[in-house]
Amino acid sequence: MRLRANAYVYLAIMAIMLFAILWTQLGMKYGIQSKLLPTLIGSIVFLIATVGLWVEVRKEKKAGKEEKKTAGEAKETWRRSLVNFSWVIGFLLGIYLLGYTIAIVIFVSSYMKWLGTRWLTAIVWAVVTSAAIYSAFQFGLQLPLYKGIIPEWLMG
Amino acid sequence: MDFGAIFRALANFGSLEIWLYMAIGIVLGLIFGVIPGISGMLAIALLLPFIYTMVPLKAFIMMMTILATQYLGGAVSAILLNIPGTAGNSATVLDGFPMTQRGEGGRAIGAAQAAGALAHLITAIVSLFMVPVIIPLIITLRSADMVFVIVLGIVFIGALSGGSMVKGLMSGGLGLMVALIGFQASTAAARFTFGSLYLYDGIPLIPVMLGLFAIPEMVSLATTGGAIAKTQVVIKGWSDVWRGVKDVFRCKALVLRTQLIGFIVGIAPGAGATPAAFISYAHAKQTSKSPETFGKGNVEGVIAPESGNNACEAGDLLTTLALGIPGSPPMALLLGAITMLGLAPGPEMLTKHLDLSLTLLWAIGIAAVFGAIICLIAAPHLSKVAFIPGRVLVPLVLVLAFTGSFAYHKSIEDVLVMVIFGALGFLMKRFEFNRAGLLLGFVLGSIFEKYLFLALKTGGPFFFVRPISLGLIFFTIFVMAFGPVKELVQRRRKVSRA
């Protein structure tokens, strides 16, 4: 029997809770006061996830043809969402490597272009945004932005 | 009962600085309300990293005014563009847009703004006078009772804020688990830190909020793509707008009834503005002399939901302040802000910080009146904000979220935490889990543990054998069991009929 995505989510939550309970009980030398709540909440969430999984498996048995029709559409939206989320991760990596000022310019211009803006507009927006953020942090909040490991390494 | 405190709180509005923060809050609330796909909640999440060092009164006034005016802004796009600015304005579309199509957009805007402002003002004043009455009741709550108040809050958010109850409860539980990461104050034990120094202080709130709400919303907006609004808007003139305002005073009884509905729904934790608006709409249709005109541009179909959703806010705030149980997801965010600004959510807000709490209730009423006036004057221009294309909005909001999470502790780890919670929020949105429930569990986790140990110390293992605690336990079980039992009964009836 092929499980639906929801069922895997419940299984993942059950695994995380089981790990948390075992870690609390066996892995660390906590006192009873520190063990109580993680064990209690972990067990409750584990039980609820089990109920959810049971409901999901029962639903799976009853699932009709209609669901399969919309599955293709949902898959496409899911794929596009994942691509958009990968831009977020790319931005995080950009900040870590190049720092905020450079990463903002690259991220805003390329993401806007990818979303359908013309290059010139995207670059102007990117430069203005980066300059505005830099000024607001550097001069307004007097809070230097993260410089990134590559510029810091280059500057020694 | 100290009713004088109500008027002393009003004196806070004598400062020009407070009006400045209110003005910023009103403008942000209207703009974030008008733009479909984002809401006042996102505005608060983005604002928090920059205001957490502010004096609590100013910071809260700004946040409250954002929440109070977002539905007023949302009504503009619901009526003129057929897209609700916020979920709370969904019912307004039903009759608001047909009125615009008929050339009565101005009248609908006038009615929506007047109904919204009146709802906020009246329910805020009612709440203000309820506070001194509530305080003696709140003071009787002991640690044991507070443990079950928190459990009830999580169950309410899980059970009533839409979607599956199993997922809602799990979300709350996950939030509580995340709150346990870090140093435990009473024992100095480091739980789930896995040797990381960063985790010793626990997971910071701002990256969690930004991750759970800003990132999934932006990913979803980018996925749907394109400009949010496409049609152009025309409002005929002032006389039309004024006619809508007069409609509200003509339907006095309906306005008062729907305000009461909204206020009660607001007080009940977990529900929020959307159900309040739909219940009010259904009530207006049921009691109308011409129910057949609903959905075709009946002004009562605009007045009722706008009264209901706006009346919700004061009731929401009252429960959030008095018990520390947020009435709706935006209030869960406000609750987070309360802890972040160094205050303890719950009864202390009505005892130690009474002046602040009363000022916030005043702020709701005052901000809504000014917000409505701005909307009435600038509705056609304001609606243009909804034309900002997603391709411009998404990168800018993401940049703000990334810089905001860094600004909190000047730590790049916070940005990583935000992205991790962004991924979690993204998956939760995808699989219809309750993000507000997780946030609530996270915010209340540490005080839940504090109250639990206090209760165990003072009352032993049977600390819950108290009338209030037992009452709360039974009520929690009732809330959890109501939905499944009702479903079972309905299914059996269907089977017996067949």
The SS3 of residue B182 is strand
**Entry pTM:** 0.79
Chain A residues in contact with B392 (beta carbon < 8 A) = 112, 117, 125
Q: How far is A106 from chain B (nearest CA, A)?
A: 11
Q: How many CB atoms lie within 10 A of CB B488?
A: 11
Q: Are B412 and A81 within 8 A, CB to CB?
A: no
**At A44, which amino acid appears?**
I
Q: Are A115 and B225 within 8 A, CB to CB?
A: yes
Q: Are A30 and B191 within 8 A, CB to CB?
A: yes
pLDDT per residue of chain B (498 residues) written in tens, 0 to 9: 567 888 888 888 888 999 999 999 999 998 888 877 677 888 888 888 877 778 888 889 999 999 989 999 889 888 887 777 787 888 888 898 888 888 888 889 999 999 999 999 999 999 988 888 877 777 788 888 888 888 887 887 776 655 688 888 999 999 999 999 998 877 778 888 888 889 988 898 888 988 988 899 889 888 876 544 555 555 666 778 888 899 999 999 999 999 999 898 888 766 678 778 888 888 888 888 888 888 888 999 999 999 999 998 888 888 888 888 776 778 888 888 888 888 877 788 888 888 888 999 999 999 999 999 988 888 767 766 667 788 888 899 899 889 888 887 888 999 999 999 999 999 998 888 888 889 888 888 888 888 898 899 888 888 888 898 999 899 889 888 887 888 788 888 888 877
Residue B350 pLDDT = 83
Burial class for B288, CB neighbours closer than 10 Å (0-12, 13-18, 19+): middle
Q: Are A84 and B223 within 8 A, CB to CB?
A: yes
Q: How many CB pairs under 8 A join A and B?
A: 137
Q: How far is A60 from chain B (nearest CA, A)?
A: 16
Nearest to B46 by CA among B204, B210, B208, B212: B210
Q: What angle do CA B193, B199, B204 make, to 5 degrees?
A: 140
Q: Are A112 and B392 within 8 A, CB to CB?
A: yes
Q: How many CB atoms lie within 10 A of CB B447?
A: 18
Nearest to B261 by CA among B321, B323, B304: B304
Q: What angle do CA A49, A50, A53 make, to 5 degrees?
A: 85
Q: How many CB atoms lie within 10 A of CB A58?
A: 9
The SS3 of residue A79 is helix
Q: How far apart are CA B458 and CA A23, in angstroms?
A: 29
The SS3 of residue A2 is coil
Nearest CA in chain A to B432: A6
Say which of B184, B219, B431 has its CB closest to residue A5.
B431
Burial class for B302, CB neighbours closer than 10 Å (0-12, 13-18, 19+): buried
Burial class for B197, CB neighbours closer than 10 Å (0-12, 13-18, 19+): exposed
Q: Name beta bridge partners: B182.
A: B191
Average pLDDT (A118-132) is: 94
Q: Are B391 and A112 within 8 A, CB to CB?
A: yes
The SS3 of residue A96 is helix
In the structure encoding, which two tokens stand for residue A93, read together?
Answer: 């990596």
Burial class for A69, CB neighbours closer than 10 Å (0-12, 13-18, 19+): exposed
The SS3 of residue B248 is helix
Q: What is the ipTM of this complex?
A: 0.92
Chain A residues in contact with B184 (beta carbon < 8 A) = 33-34
Q: How far apart are CA B34 and CA B166, in angstroms?
A: 33
In the structure encoding, which two tokens stand for residue B2, read together?
Answer: 């100290």
Nearest CA in chain A to B195: A28
Query: Which DSSP string corresponds to B394-444?
Result: HHHHHHHHHHHHHHHHT-HHHHHHHHHHHHHHHHHHHTT--HHHHHHHHHH
Q: Are B443 and B339 in contact (CB under 8 A)?
A: yes
In the structure encoding, which two tokens stand for residue B463, read together?
Answer: 């600390």
Burial class for B270, CB neighbours closer than 10 Å (0-12, 13-18, 19+): buried
Say which of B186, B407, B423 has its CB closest to residue A141.
B407
Residue B237 pLDDT = 67
Widest pairwise Cα distance in chain A: 64
Chain B residues in contact with A44 (beta carbon < 8 A) = 173
Q: Are A6 and B431 within 8 A, CB to CB?
A: yes
Q: Provide CB contacts within 8 A for B311, sequence distance 6+.
A: B119, B120, B122, B123, B258, B259, B260, B261, B262, B263, B266, B276
Q: Name beta bridge partners: B190.
A: B183
